[in-house]
Amino acid sequence: MPNKQDKIDIPALLSRLPLFQELSSEQIAPIAAGTREKRISKSEMLFQKGDLPKGFFIIVFGQVKLAFPSANGNEKVVEILGPRQSFGEAVMFMDRPYPIFAEALVDTLLLHVSMQAVFELLAADPIFARRMLAGMAVRLHSLINDVESYSLRSSAQRVIGYLLQHCPQGDECEGALEISLPTSKQVIASRLNLTPETLSRIFHELSEAGLITVQGKVIQAHDMRRLREYDL
């Protein structure tokens, strides 16, 4: 992936993304022609709730927070997205305003793919249409898992589950693991539907149990199997 100083080769970059990698150069060309770079700085808004979509976004580098605002100044973080992830497809198809806002958590480079270019390719290529539907289905499945987690799992189980997601071996993960939190604990707490105080308390209890050591944004998990089996 390019760094902050590189000039972006949009066709080459699109061709390496999962959504577009099966397309020919002739199919990529009109998509690339309808794609623009968008650079935003840390804490800058990409769009606000109520803005109308004109396409969807793909993150080249950086990190974006999607969240619901609230009248009292708090927010509910829906997703934290990083490189190679896309967002905004479903709202684009619905032709409705964004129900959330998007904010850069760090300096970020995105590609904005125009709605018209996507619709033209969807009409011409059923395989691309299936891939886009599959991507949105994965996002829907993730949201359903979130609802299940918030409804059926305790606060501690949510935090442990979040830490376990960072293990490359998934459910087979054992031994020690260093986990670098991708963003602030406040944002992670909101993502897990917790208050920052509750997240800090659970980290403290896991530390007292000898399962983790917390050093800023770095979590040293001493035994992933024990962490997985632990029940606060």
Q: What is the mean pLDDT of residues 147-169?
A: 81
pLDDT in tens, 106-140: 999 999 999 999 899 888 888 888 888 887 787 78
Contact of 28 with 15, CB cutoff 8 Å: yes
Cα separation values, 150 from 153, 161, 228, Å: 6, 12, 18
Residue for token pair 């980290």: 203
Using pLDDT thresholds of 50, 70 and 90, give the confidence band for residue 52: very high
Q: Is 74 exposed, middle or buried (0-12, 13-18, 19+ CB in 10 A)?
A: exposed
- pTM higher than the cut 0.85: no
- Give me the pLDDT at residue 231, please: 65
83-112 per-position pLDDT tens digit: 988 899 889 888 899 999 999 999 999 999
- Residues 153-163 have a mean pLDDT of 88
Nearest to residue 12, comparing CAs of 60, 64, 61, 62? 60
CA distance 198 to 60: 33
Q: How far apart are CA 111 and CA 32, in angstroms?
A: 10
Which amino acid appears at position 32 of this protein? Answer: A
Q: What are phi and psi of 154, to 5 degrees?
A: -70, 170
- DSSP secondary structure letters along 78-117: EEEE-TT-EE-HHHHHHT---SSEEEESS-EEEEEEEHHH
In sequence order, the 6+-apart residues with CB closer than 8 A to the CB of 100 are 49, 66, 67, 68, 78
pLDDT value at position 4? Answer: 54
How would you class 62 by CB atoms within 10 Å of its CB: exposed for 0-12, middle for 13-18, buried for 19 or more?
buried
Asked whether the predicted pLDDT for residue 208 surpasses 90, the reply is yes
